[in-house]
Structure 1
Amino acid sequence: MKIVVGLGNPGRQYSATRHNIGFMVVDELAQRLGIDRWRNQKEALVAEYKGNDTILLVKPQTYMNLSGVAVGELARWYKVAVEDIIIIFDDMDLPTGRLRLRMKGGSGGHRGIESLLTHLSKDSFPRVRVGIGRPPAGWQVVDYVLSSFTAEEQPLVKSAIEKAADATESILEQGMNKAMNLHNK
């Protein structure tokens, strides 16, 4: 079994914000897999796909800073190794629309990742980082990540969501090393 987690915040007011790009990618994957049924489980929305492997698509409903609570509970419930949990999230250190895959590492100041590191007790979960760029001068980080993408950014974001879904499919089908070689450009 593999768990694919998109990080974000629950609620309509956050649905189109930069911080919710992880949810957007998971929604794209669900559409590709023909999934339209979600259930509430362990403080998350969960959808299941049965193919060669069972894949759980997960959108934590604990708010970003507590994402690890839901993911940790699901990992323990399903007895899934940390290395089999793929995390998709927004990254201000990458320009809007850019992608970077990593095998492990620290949080880089991302509170959702900090929560995962705490609740999974390991840093070896594969990551799909989706660039959202840096806040403009005078903006607070929290205001920026909770803002919507501009009209000019929309084509980049649409492409990034598709590329992140492609990269996640590559991780699932070919493993992390091959996926990094294909998608880290």
Structure 2
Amino acid sequence: MKLVVGLGNPDRRYRRTRHNVGWDVIDRLARRWEVTVDQEDGWARVGSAKVGRHRILLAKPQTYVNRSGVAVADLLRRHRVKIEDLLVVADDLDLSLGRLRLRGRGSPGGHNGLRSIIDALGRDDFPRLRVGIGRPPSGVDPAEFVLTPFREDEDAAMRAALDRAADAVETALREGLQAAMNRFNTRGPANAGPDKAARRVSPSGS
């Protein structure tokens, strides 16, 4: 089994905010794979699909971003998922709007959700996909900025970025992390995602 976790805050007021980009990517994958992410599983809500030869668990922690490690550690333990089969999707202030960056390990980079996961697991060698949300305007507290929605003039770019992020996750699952890094860790628009004909998925158990 592989586990894809999108970081975000569960309260309705945080929907479509910058800090909930991870959840937005999970939602896109769920729509592509025709699954729902609404089953309670410890500290998260999950949905399961078969993608190629892999069973994939999509997860949205319900702990709020700063305590994401509690949910992730619990899911890894419950489902006996290996650390290399975990992929975390999170927002990133230090990446320009819509830019993607995949890594196999690393520091939290100022992201409290990633820091919580590293602390809970006692290691930082898990794959993660960062989605750029841009820097706050001068004088705006970053902690407040991440809780704001995207501006109208940013919407189109972010919709495209979220689609590319979902493509990046699919590529990592099908072809491996290195292939996804080569394709999506770019300064300009990402290369095309997986062939649509290859997106043959089925809900778990079907």
User: In 2, distance between residues paired with 1:62 and 1:36?
Assistant: 19
Aligned-pair distance for 1:124?
1.4
The aligned counterpart of 1:18 is 18
Aligned-pair distance for 1:36?
2.5
Aligned-pair distance for 1:50?
2.5
Flag the 1:37–1:46 CA change in 2: closer, same or farther, 3 A.
closer
Large movers: runs of 4+ above 4 Å: none
SS in 2 for 1:153: helix
Aligned-pair distance for 1:79?
1.1
Q: Percent identity?
A: 48
CA-to-partner distance for each residue in 1:7-63, whole Å, 9 max, x for gaps?
A: 000021001100000000000000000112521111101111134111000000000
User: Which ranges in structure 1 are unaligned for 5 or more consecutive residues?
Assistant: none
The aligned counterpart of 2:137 is 136
Q: Is the 8 A contact 2:30 2:37 kept in 1?
A: no
Which amino acid in 2 is paired with 1:42?
G
User: Which ranges in structure 2 are unaligned for 5 or more consecutive residues?
Assistant: 187-206
Which amino acid in 2 is paired with 1:124?
D
Which amino acid in 2 is paired with 1:119?
A
Select the structure of larger CA radius of gyration.
Answer: 2
User: In 2, distance between residues paired with 1:82 and 1:28?
Assistant: 24
Q: Is the 8 A contact 1:86 1:128 kept in 2?
A: yes
User: In 2, distance between residues paired with 1:140 and 1:63?
Assistant: 19
User: In 2, distance between residues paired with 1:18 and 1:88?
Assistant: 13
Matches within 5 A, 1:143-154: 143-154=144-155
The aligned counterpart of 2:120 is 119
TM-score normalised by the chain length of structure 1: 0.98
Q: In angstroms, what is the RMSD of aligned CA positions? A: 0.9
TM-score normalised by the chain length of structure 2: 0.88
Q: Is the 8 A contact 1:82 1:120 kept in 2?
A: no
User: In 1, distance between residues paired with 2:36 and 2:57?
Assistant: 13
Aligned-pair distance for 1:184?
1.0
> Structure 1 stretch 83-92 or stretch 47-56: which is displaced more?
47-56
User: In 2, distance between residues paired with 1:19 and 1:181?
Assistant: 26
SS in 2 for 1:170: helix
> Structure 1 stretch 76-85 or stretch 165-174: which is displaced more?
76-85
The aligned counterpart of 2:198 is none
Q: Is the 8 A contact 1:100 1:130 kept in 2?
A: yes
Q: Is the 8 A contact 2:37 2:45 kept in 1?
A: no
Q: Is the 8 A contact 2:14 2:147 kept in 1?
A: yes
Q: Is the 8 A contact 1:60 1:70 kept in 2?
A: yes
CA-to-partner distance for each residue in 1:77-101, whole Å, 9 max, x for gaps?
A: 1111111100000000101111111
> Structure 1 stretch 12-21 or stretch 115-124: which is displaced more?
115-124
**How many equivalent pairs are there?**
185
Q: Is the 8 A contact 1:82 1:122 kept in 2?
A: no
The answer to whether 1:76 aligns with 2:43 is no
User: In 2, distance between residues paired with 1:24 and 1:130?
Assistant: 11
The aligned counterpart of 1:91 is 92
SS in 2 for 1:5: strand
